[in-house]
Amino acid sequence: MSDSSWTRVPSAPPAAPGTGARGSTTTPEGPDPAAAPPAAGAPSVAPSGSPGVPPFGGREAAPGLLRSLEPLLRGWLPRQRWFAGKGLPIGGFRLAAATELMPPGGKLGPLGLLHVLVDVEQPGRPADCYQLLLGAHPLLPSALVRTALGRAVGGPYDGLTLYDAPHDPRLAALLLERLRMPGRTGRLHFSTEPHAVFPPAPAPRVSTAEQSNTSVVYGDAYILKLFRRVSPGTNPDLELSLALARAGSRRVAEPVAWFESLEPGPGPAAEEPTTLGLLQRFLPGSSDGWALALASVAEDGDFRAEAAALGRATAEVHASLAAALPVRALGGAALERIAAGMARRLDETAAEVPAVRPYAAALRSAFDDLAKLGAGTLPGHAVTAQRIHGDLHLGQALRGPDGEWVLIDFEGEPARPLAERRRPAPPVQDVAGMLRSFDYAAHHSGNGPWAARHRDAYCTGYAAVSGIDPREQPVLIRAFETDKAVYEARYEARHRPAWLPIPLSALARLATAAPR
Last residue of a domain, one of 231, 247, 281: 281
Along the chain (516 residues), what's the average pLDDT of each consecutive run of 10 residues?
51 46 30 31 31 48 86 97 92 95 87 96 95 96 94 95 97 95 95 88 86 93 96 97 97 98 63 94 95 92 96 99 97 94 98 98 97 74 92 97 97 90 97 97 80 96 98 96 97 92 96 74
Would you state the pLDDT for residue 352? 97
Kindly report the CATH number assigned to the domain that includes residue 485. Answer: 3.90.1200.10
- In terms of Cα–Cα distance, which of 258, 302, 272 is closest to 456? 302
Q: Are 136 and 112 in contact (CB under 8 A)?
A: yes
Strands (E), 193-349: 204-206, 213-218, 222-227, 229-230, 255-261, 274-281, 287-288, 328-329
Residue 16 lies in a domain: no
Beta bridge partners of 114: 100, 134
Q: Which domain holds residue 348?
A: 287-511
H or E element at residue 141: strand 140-141
Q: What are the φ and ψ backbone dihedral angles of 86, each rounded to 5 degrees?
A: -60, 140
With respect to residue 379, please indicate whether it lies within any of the assigned structural domains. Answer: yes
Beta bridge partners of 217: 205, 223
| pLDDT at residue 381, rounded to an integer | 64
Give exposure, 307-325, as e/b (b: 16+ Cβ within 10 Å).
Answer: bbbbbbbbbbbbbbbbebe
**How far is residue 379 from each of residues 371, 424, 475, 510, measured CA to CA in Å?**
12, 23, 9, 20
248 falls within a domain? yes
Q: Which amino acid is at 289?
A: G
Same domain, 342 and 255: no
Q: Which residues of 402-416 are buried (b: 16+ CB within 10 A; e: fewer)?
A: eeebbbbbbbbebee
C-alpha closest to that of 417 among 123, 137, 126: 126
My answer on whether 248 and 300 are in the same domain is no
Q: What is the DSSP-derived secondary structure letter of residue 109?
A: B
Q: Where are the beta strands (DSSP E) in 350-423?
A: 384-385, 397-399, 405-407
Please say which residue of 281, 301, 317 terminates a domain: 281
Query: Which residue from 475, 442, 443, 445 is spatially nearest to 457, judged by alpha carbons?
Result: 442
In this predicted structure, what is the pLDDT of residue 198? 86
Taking the C-alpha atoms of residue 213 and residue 235, their distance in angstroms, rounded to an integer, is 13
**Residue 409 maps to a domain:** yes
Is 83 domain-assigned? Answer: no
Rounded Cα distance between 515 and 470, Å, is 13
pLDDT at 59: 59
Confidence (pLDDT) at 211: 78
Q: Do 303 and 205 have their domain in common?
A: no
Distance from C-alpha of 236 to C-alpha of 389, rounded to nearest angstrom: 9
In a domain, 182, yes or no: no
Identify whether residues 358 and 485 lie together within a single domain. yes
Cβ atoms within 10 A of the Cβ of 352, count? 12
Same domain, 339 and 411: yes
**108 Cβ partners below 8 Å, 6+ apart?**
102, 170, 174
Say if residue 468 is in the same domain as residue 377. Answer: yes
Indicate the number of domains in the chain.
2
User: Cα separation of 135 and 146, whole Å?
Assistant: 13
Whether residue 254 sits in one domain with residue 306: no
Q: Is residue 433 part of a domain?
A: yes
Does 328 share its domain with 415?
yes
Whether residues 260 and 325 fall in one domain = no
* 239 part of a folded domain: yes
Same structural domain, 264 and 292? no
pLDDT at 106: 80
Residues 444, 487, single domain; the answer is: yes
- Claim to verify: residue 364 and residue 234 sit in the same structural domain: no
Q: Which of 162, 487, 244 is nearest to 342 (CA)?
A: 487
Report the length, in residues, of the chain.
Answer: 516
Domain boundary among 251, 281, 311: 281
